[in-house]
């Protein structure tokens, strides 16, 4: 059923992963050039992979276990992306390359929050179905 709350959470996660990467910069160089995620192939592919997993998970509503597993894979992918950003911010010293870190570095955290909420709702649905099956 597409009218469940996890669908909204997954759509928000997909919008964050696919849409906001064009709006919020990852960082700004000391020359004032804003670097967006779509300018780097690795970051773009990870963000779009996360959005694709969210959209794929929406249409797996008949198989809640697979939907739950796809949500967990998406969370792992976002942690991987967040790890890249943490490594980048810790590895670069001072003012050599990155002058100002942008809000785009925090997009995976926001996406993870919505994915966790979606997985909780999927788990709640699965528990409800199991409890009804016990009553039969």
Helix/strand/coil for 98? strand
Segment holding 89, helix H or strand E: helix 64-91
Q: Residue for token digits 């998970």?
A: 57
- pLDDT at site 91: 67
Helices (H) and strands (E) in the chain, counts: 4, 3
Total residue length of the chain: 136
Q: What is the pTM of this model?
A: 0.86
The mean pLDDT of 91-115, rounded to a whole number, is 77
Query: What mean pLDDT is predicted for residues 51-58?
Result: 93
Q: How far apart are CA 109 and CA 117, in angstroms?
A: 13
User: Average pLDDT, whole number, for the chain?
Assistant: 85
């Amino acid at each position: 059923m597409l009218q469940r709350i996890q669908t909204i959470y997954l759509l928000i996660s997909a919008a964050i992963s696919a849409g906001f990467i064009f709006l919020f910069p990852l960082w700004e160089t000391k020359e004032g050039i804003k670097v967006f995620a779509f300018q780097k192939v690795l970051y773009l592919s990870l963000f779009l992979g996360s959005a694709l997993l969210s959209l794929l998970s929406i249409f797996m509503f008949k198989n809640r276990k697979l939907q739950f597993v796809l949500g967990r894979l998406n969370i792992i992918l976002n942690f991987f992306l967040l790890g890249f950003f943490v490594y980048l911010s810790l590895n670069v010293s001072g003012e050599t390359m990155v002058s100002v870190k942008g809000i785009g570095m925090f997009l995976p955290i926001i996406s993870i929050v919505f994915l966790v909420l979606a997985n909780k709702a999927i788990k709640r649905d699965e528990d409800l179905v199991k409890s009804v099956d016990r009553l039969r």
